[in-house]
Structure 1
Amino acid sequence: MKYIDISGNFGIERETLRVDSRGRLAQTPHPFAYDPHITRDFCENQIELVTKVASSVEGALQHLAELDRHVQAVLAQNGERLWLYSNPPHFDYEDEIPIADFTGDHSSKRSYREVLERKYGKKLMLYSGIHFNFSFTEDYLQALNTEQQDPRSFRDALYLRLYKQLMRHSFLLVLLTAASPFYDASLDKEGKSGIIKSKYTSLRNSERGYWNRFLPILDHSSLQAFTDSIRRYIDSGALYSASELYLPIRLKPRGVNSLGALAENGVDHIELRMFDLNPSAPLGIDVKDLTFAHLLMVYLLSLPDTDFTPEQQVQAVQAHQHAALLAPEPELLERAEHILTEMAQFYAGQEEPLAVIASELEKLNARKVGCCCTGSQIYE
């Protein structure tokens, strides 16, 4: 039996909307002074909690719990609370969706959001979710670098390889963590109301969700080629900035998150952006789901590196969107089951990983018999 090292560095970003006592979008200013761990996303009433880097999933969740308690306590004083659903509550007009009011040194963030408003409208920006950030430890990277390659070049190539595999396999995480089959009719048309059960288990991951108006095709032959291919879309005006690249996986640099920093300094960590808020989990995310995502990344790194052609990039996004359907194609479910079976073989003899994989397989089987799996809760 071989032991698979599953150490790493972990961080969580959680987006949630602030609502008033009626469950409507809060119209008050962001009630927290500048804090890198409590900020805003697109909307002034959309709080984003950003944990410190932790050495375990549990450690990241512990910090998220601390931030959540503080935020909930402050909001309660104003008669507000957090809306722990990925789909927004009822609203009458888009005027109830104020753009995050960044000023001073951060005024460029507001300018960017104004561009998004003109391009996509504000409804799309109400979707909220979980972003999971991960990096391998330096010791782990050194152990993998058996040919003593340049550390920076080796790290960049490794994360780019993982990026390609995660793009191909992102559909699996959508199948297992989609948690938003219901939405308010106001999301379809202003003035409408009433709860709708959609044909999706996750609107934000479906074709109705966070996507560009075109599918950016990227060059994955090297990190330089990758960043250059994104830069060409920006230079042509197709993208305002790299932040507008709406794909479920991102490569991130250390410090300031910019395309220039990624090209100059290399990859620091990888971000998975597809997780719905799980209303049956106290913090909006289940520890088993994040642990599984980590196990998946370690497993994917064991697979041979392959090309990621334009056709394969299109197929990967289509699979991701199809996985958000209430009734995905049987072939997609069979493919998911095969991956879980392969993962169980990869982690053979390691009790904790196998228990997590078994839990995810149970959820997948629930999908196969026609239920809507929402995290750890199943709606028939």
Structure 2
Amino acid sequence: MQENKTSFSQRLTLLKQKEVKQTLVGILHGVERESLRINPDGGLAQTPHQAALGSALTHDFITTDFSESLLEFITPPEVSIDKTIGQLTDVHKFVLENIGEERLWSMSMPCFIESDDNIPIANYGSSNVGRMKSLYRVGLKNRYGSMMQAISGVHFNFSLPEAFWQEWLAKLGQEANKDTISAAYFALIRNYRRYCWIIPYLYGASPALCGSFIKGKLTSFEFSKIGKGTYYLPYATSLRMSDLGYTNSAQSGLNICYNQVDTYIDSLRKAISQPSVDYQRFNGKKDGQYQQLNGNVLQIENELYSPIRPKQPTRSLEKPTDALDDRGVNYIEVRALDVNPFSQIGIEANQFYFLDVFLLYCVTKPSEFFDSHLYQETETNLSEVVNRGREPNLHLTHKGESISLVDWALSLFSDLAEVAAELDEANNTNQYSAAVEVEKQKVLDPSLTPSARILKILLENNEDNGSFGLNLADTYKKQLLATDYQFMTADDLTAHAGRSVQKQLLVEQQDMQTFDEFLRSYFESSTELEQV
């Protein structure tokens, strides 16, 4: 159903009401931060996932993403921003204490990597579930190359409490239930996509990359070169989010629909059953080994590249769309954040406060359905900003009309300031308004953006991206090793690692099928692995 068409000012008045506002103290956050393990010389570590870190298959806080060398740190949902930052810091400290001389790469675009074959695919053990997770990654390598999969990002998980939805939807004349809450989250998602160009502008931190990333590739970008082998675009904000990074041209025709949860589920299910002419060539086995899960445009749902996802925690062997269909949207995952190289853990507190404001604004602002033209606008605007967001007098498109990025951003910040004031009052603080003001200054002065700051350092020193990143990695390792644990001790995390190993062994012992039988029954039953 199309949502209530009241104005932003009218809906802001509803947000100001005490019954609604007081629920805002219950906003939950979680973070998933990716980081490559590197050697002291800055090259990609070739060592397996360290045993002291536990099982990547079953650990709650420390796992791997595409590669054995690509760690992912996960924090549980928490109300307190300070607690989430503290937990993330604890996990970083523990990892650095257990990886010897290796460091954690502090940037989104990869360090120097000789070739795709120097990026070891993640190993999750001998269980059918673990082998399938690895096979999915083999498919990603064959489809897109491993270099793209070595890119790191930060995912920001956000949910509003049940009490908020009860009060907010009642004010809009609706009863809070699975369907209306999901519809409200999808309204948030549509607004996020309309305005998410502001995210790479404010937080994009990958204007440059190591020449090894584009070695042998055809690209339409007119790069400039600096140092021994660093390439950059003068006004780029986030090459990670560009066509060089986490995009998939084969997905451009999928027409994923974000208007309603049902249309989203239907369009995504269609995508994972749509054969791809390009990927059919990887079907079957090569030298006795499968090359991908299947020959469809998407092997599984997680292969869909999107700057935001609706999420519902999945049960064992449950498909994400089935979880959404059964229990509705539980939280949203913001996926447009580069690793913040100016933070030792890849994200800083100001980003939390601003994103809370921004996402609550996306709830409060009326959100009309997309048609194909409006949806394409969001894609084009995002692309313009990631490639040349700091270009003077850059114009974007809003409802078919050209508008300067600066004018649109300042109008947006005017609204954000009003939402921030309500969050401040609810939480008895001024952090939200202060965060909005900090980010607004980046619009008024693009030299304050992370992308501009990085390029300034590189250009002034004729320095390579790699040496800049390695210096940060060295500095952060020393800082984190000298930091005290805050919420989880080394003993806690060691015990957790041990339990995760036992969980993996139990999973392996419970297998009753061959891998071929498992795959066959898996796809016949149309189930999908949890957290593949």
Q: What one-letter code is carried by the residue in structure 2 that aligns with 1:234?
A: I
Distance 1:30 1:190, change over 3 A: farther
Q: Are residues 1:42 and 2:66 paired?
A: yes
Cα separation, 2, equivalents of 1:230 and 1:269: 18
Tell me the equivalent position of 1:311.
Answer: 373
Cα separation, 1, equivalents of 2:452 and 2:177: 40
Q: Map 1:144-293 onto structure 2 (within 5 A).
A: 144-146=168-170, 147=173, 149-189=175-215, 194-199=229-234, 200-213=236-249, 214-215=251-252, 216-236=254-274, 237-256=296-315, 258-293=320-355
SS in 1 for 2:45: coil
The higher-RCO structure (CA 8 Å, 6+ apart) is 2
Q: Are residues 1:127 and 2:151 paired?
A: yes
Deviates more, 1:313-322 or 1:65-74: 313-322
Deviates more, 1:142-151 or 1:332-341: 142-151
Deviates more, 1:313-322 or 1:186-195: 186-195
Q: Are 2:110 and 2:210, in contact at CA under 8 Å, matched by a contact in 1?
A: yes
Cα separation, 2, equivalents of 1:185 and 1:288: 32
Cα separation, 1, equivalents of 2:258 and 2:455: 39
Q: Are 2:187 and 2:362, in contact at CA under 8 Å, matched by a contact in 1?
A: no
Cα separation, 2, equivalents of 1:124 and 1:279: 19
Q: Are 2:157 and 2:333, in contact at CA under 8 Å, matched by a contact in 1?
A: yes
Cα separation, 1, equivalents of 2:210 and 2:259: 43
Larger Rg: 2
Q: What one-letter code is carried by the residue in structure 1 that aligns with 2:117?
A: D
Cα separation, 2, equivalents of 1:97 and 1:20: 13
Q: Are 1:254 and 1:267, in contact at CA under 8 Å, matched by a contact in 2?
A: no
Q: Are 2:190 and 2:259, in contact at CA under 8 Å, matched by a contact in 1?
A: no
Deviates more, 1:346-355 or 1:285-294: 346-355
Q: What one-letter code is carried by the residue in structure 2 that aligns with 1:100?
A: A
Cα separation, 2, equivalents of 1:312 and 1:366: 29
Cα separation, 2, equivalents of 1:150 and 1:333: 38
Q: How far 1:377 sits from its partner (Å)? A: 4.7
Q: Are residues 1:341 and 2:377 paired?
A: no
Q: How far 1:144 sits from its partner (Å)? A: 1.2
Cα separation, 1, equivalents of 2:146 and 2:49: 18
User: Mind listing any 5+ residue stretches in structure 1 that lack a counterpart?
Assistant: none
Q: Are 2:30 and 2:157, in contact at CA under 8 Å, matched by a contact in 1?
A: yes
SS in 1 for 2:78: coil
Q: How far 1:365 sits from its partner (Å)? A: 1.7
Cα separation, 1, equivalents of 2:332 and 2:259: 17
SS in 2 for 1:324: helix
Q: How far 1:220 sits from its partner (Å)? A: 3.1
Q: Are residues 1:361 and 2:440 paired?
A: yes
Tell me the equivalent position of 1:20.
Answer: 39
Distance 1:80 1:198, change over 3 A: same
* TM-score calculated relative to the size of structure 2: 0.67
* TM-score calculated relative to the size of structure 1: 0.92
Cα separation, 1, equivalents of 2:68 and 2:216: 20
How many equivalent residue pairs?
A: 375
User: Mind listing any 5+ residue stretches in structure 2 that lack a counterpart?
Assistant: 1-12, 218-224, 275-295, 396-403, 425-429, 457-532
Q: What one-letter code is carried by the residue in structure 1 that aligns with 2:209?
A: Y
Q: What one-letter code is carried by the residue in structure 1 that aligns with 2:239?
A: L
Tell me the equivalent position of 2:30.
Answer: 11
Deviates more, 1:319-328 or 1:345-354: 345-354
SS in 1 for 2:36: strand
RMSD over aligned Cα atoms: 2.2
Identical amino acids, percent of aligned pairs? 29
Distance 1:348 1:80, change over 3 A: closer
Deviates more, 1:99-108 or 1:170-179: 99-108
SS in 2 for 1:345: helix
